[in-house]
Chain A
Amino acid sequence: MNPFQVPALMIGLTLGAYLLGQHLFLTYRKSWLNPVLVAIVLIAVVIRLGSGVVEDYLKSTQMLVFMLSPTVVCLALILYEQAAALRRRALAIVVAVCCGGLTNVLAGVYLSRWLGLPEPFVQAMTTKAVTTPIALELSKSLGGEASLTVAFVLMSGIMGAVWGLPLLRAVGIKDPMETGLAIGTVSHGIGTARVQQENDLMAAAAALAMALNGLFTAFYLPYLYFWL
């Protein structure tokens, strides 16, 4: 029997590793003890030690990934709860998120070309700030590599979830709205999952920024990319 091909075992491993990560985070309150990051490292170690194949693990845990879509729908609840606070500043939110998203795409393309990265990497840089399902669709319409795209999305997400809050605090950005919008724009769902542990307004701002940046990027990137 190859344990990496048994969904029950792999899903159990994933849930267990995440719970352990959450326990560590709540006990020590260190931002690098992000539960997603802890779980990734633990599972990578288990796969390596058990000489498993990553593809087997991915296939066995498909059911967990499937749950991402209904969870995205559920973010509506957080938006509804904070609607009053968000509506008062709707225009500022839309403009700020669009500026942030566009900065990411333009800086990503020009800097990565300047550093001489190959084109698939340049392309993956443009979709790294949008939520995984949108990034996948965009990569399809740009003719990119799906799994490389996802790898970049996740790097961007994990980075923001782990260092986003401490970095923003360090430069004096403490307002929950500003923090939530910044993290949602850059780190989509992973950042949003992280700030849910902070406060509700921040989580709503992050969820809205994620949705707006995803929508906005999905509309302009297929056209803009060919001009860059």
Chain B
Amino acid sequence: MEVLRGVFLIFMFWALGETLTQLARLPIPGAVFGMLGLWVALQFKWLSYASVQVSAKGFLGMMGVFFVPPSLGILLHIDRMLQYGWKLALLVVFTSMLSGLTTALVFKLLNR
């Protein structure tokens, strides 16, 4: 009962987000708005933490697994990517490091 109610609420927020993006024709996925919506609802106590806790922790605990199948899609492009092998690898590593460090350092500076 508790799990079912939680799953229902989570899907309701997803559906709300989905409806919003479709109606407003935004390029942002509904689930992201669903997340913001659920956060707001919890924060303002429209919903109790307990009502979604068990179900949400269940989903979150499996998050990593859900990324595995789309990751294997890389195999479809492996030949094309190997053509530019080291350049691509270097670029992804370098720009990612640069970006991560920018975030961390800007945050550190602003918190002085």
Footprint of B on A, CB under 8 Å? 14-15, 17-18, 22, 35-36, 39-40, 43-44, 47, 54-55, 57-58, 61-62, 64-65, 67-80, 83, 89, 91-93, 95-97, 99-101, 103-104, 107-108, 111-112, 115, 117, 121, 125, 128-129, 131-134, 136-138, 140-141, 147-148, 150-152, 154-160, 164, 167-168, 171, 173, 175, 177-179, 181-183, 185-187, 189-190, 192-194, 196, 209, 211, 214-215, 218-219, 222
A107 CA to B62 CA, complexed, in Å: 33
In the complex, the chain A residue whose C-beta lies closest to that of B53 is: A77
> A68 vs B14: C-alpha distance in the bound complex, in angstroms?
11
Measured CB to CB, the closest approach of chain B to A197, in angstroms, equals: 9
A72 to B11, CA, bound (A): 11
Contact of B72 among A40, A107, A222 (CB under 8 A): A40
Check B36 against A14 for contact (C-beta < 8 Å): no
Contacts of B10 in A (CB 8 A): 70, 73-74
B87-108: which residues lie under 8 A (CB-CB) from chain A?
Answer: 87-88, 91-104, 106-108
Q: Does B91 lie within 8 Å of A112, measured CB to CB?
A: yes
Contact of A154 among B35, B73, B88, B95 (CB under 8 A): B73
Q: Which of B7, B35, B57, B94 contacts A72 (CB 8 A)?
A: B35
Nearest 4 pairs of A and B residues by beta carbon: A100-B103, A104-B99, A76-B38, A96-B107
Known A-B contacts A73-B35, A75-B35; the reply to A115 vs B63 at CB < 8 A is no
B20: chain A residues at CB < 8 Å are none
Contact A80-B43, Cβ < 8 Å, known A58-B69, A96-B106, A100-B103: yes
Given contacts A117-B91, A128-B92, 15 further A-B contacts (CB under 8 A): A54-B72, A73-B34, A76-B13, A80-B39, A80-B43, A92-B111, A99-B103, A147-B76, A155-B74, A178-B103, A190-B64, A193-B63, A214-B32, A215-B32, A222-B27
Most buried by A among B11, B101, B102: B102
B91 touches A71 (CB 8 A): no
Q: Are A71 and B66 in touch, CB under 8 angstroms?
A: yes
A100 and B106 contacting across the interface, CB-CB below 8 Å? yes
Whole-angstrom distance between the Cβ of A129 and the nearest chain B Cβ:
6
Q: Which of A73, A80, A177 has the most CB of B within 10 A?
A: A73
Number of interface residues of B (CB under 8 A): 69
> Known contacts A80-B43, A211-B32; is A17 also within 8 Å of B68 by CB?
yes
Q: A72-B32, A177-B107, A218-B27 are in contact. Are A147 and B66 (CB under 8 A)?
A: no
Contact residues, B9-49 vs A (CB, 8 A)? 10-11, 13-14, 17, 26-32, 34-39, 42-43, 49
